[in-house]
């Protein structure tokens, strides 16, 4: 059974290098664990979509929740899925455009096609904020 989590968290003073380190660890570990997904960081908050075998995703959520580099992990959505929406992304960094005017267009281009409409809306809402 595949499960998918969408959560947000807070990391107001995290240096950029730490985001790079998180992505490097993700690339390493996620491939081995069959986890795929995407990560957005707006300088203060993370939003992450994780998908994979239910046990693997639940275990990773525990690890991530305990990670002291962020706080306030809040799950926005959790569902069982039949097909991965990000099959090719061990952990894709989705960039948030500087210009607010470009954000929606950029996301529409970068977010995967198979995302549920509600999930897509939550991601876009997060990214256009601030
Ligand atoms: C916002 C955020 C997202 C993370 N995402 C992942 C992830 O997708 N995969 C992963 O293995 N670790 C992720 N981590 C890091 C884990 O909390 C943990 O540090 C890491 O899995 C330890 O890996 P290591 O034992 O290989 O050093 C994330 C951490 C944060 C703060």
Rounded to the nearest 10 degrees, the angle between the axes of helix 100-110 and helix 117-128 is 150
- Mean pLDDT, range 59-87, rounded to an integer: 97
34 pLDDT exceeds 90?
yes
- pLDDT at position 125 is 94
- pLDDT at position 100 is 86
63 C-alpha to ligand 1 centroid (Å): 7
130 pLDDT exceeds 80?
no
Domains held by the chain: number: 1
User: Which atom of ligand 1 approaches the CA of 46 most closely?
Assistant: 1
Which range of residues forms the domain containing residue 88? 2-128
pLDDT in tens, 39-52: 999 999 999 999 99
Ligand 1 pocket, residue 45 CB under 6 Å = no
The CATH code of the domain that includes 72 is 3.30.70.100
User: Which atom of ligand 1 approaches the CA of 91 most closely?
Assistant: 8
22 C-alpha to ligand 1 centroid (Å): 6
Ligand 1 pocket, residue 22 CB under 6 Å = yes
E strand intervals along 28-110: 36-41, 45-53, 71-81, 92-93
- pTM of the entire predicted model: 0.96
Ligand 1 pocket, residue 24 CB under 6 Å = no
pLDDT in tens, 83-116: 999 999 999 999 998 888 889 999 989 999 999 9
24 pLDDT exceeds 90?
yes
For residue 67, report the phi and psi dihedrals to the nearest 5 degrees.
Answer: -70, 120
E strand intervals along the chain: 2-10, 36-41, 45-53, 71-81, 92-93
- pLDDT at position 108 is 87
Write the CA distances from 78 to 8, 63, 99, 109, integer angstroms.
Answer: 12, 17, 30, 24
Percent of the chain at pLDDT > 90 equals 88
């Amino acid at each position: 059974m595949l499960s998918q989590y969408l959560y947000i968290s807070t990391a107001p003073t995290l240096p950029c290098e730490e985001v790079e380190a998180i992505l490097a660890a993700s690339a390493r570990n996620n491939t081995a664990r069959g986890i795929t997904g995407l990560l957005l960081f707006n300088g203060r908050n993370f939003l992450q979509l994780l998908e994979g075998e239910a046990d693997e995703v639940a275990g990773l959520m525990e690890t991530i929740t305990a990670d002291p580099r962020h706080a306030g992990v809040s799950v926005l959505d959790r569902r069982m899925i039949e097909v991965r929406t990000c099959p090719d992304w061990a952990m894709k960094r989705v960039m948030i455009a500087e210009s607010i005017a470009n954000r929606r267009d950029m996301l529409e281009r970068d977010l995967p096609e198979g995302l549920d409409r509600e999930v897509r809306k939550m991601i876009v809402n997060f990214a256009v904020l601030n």
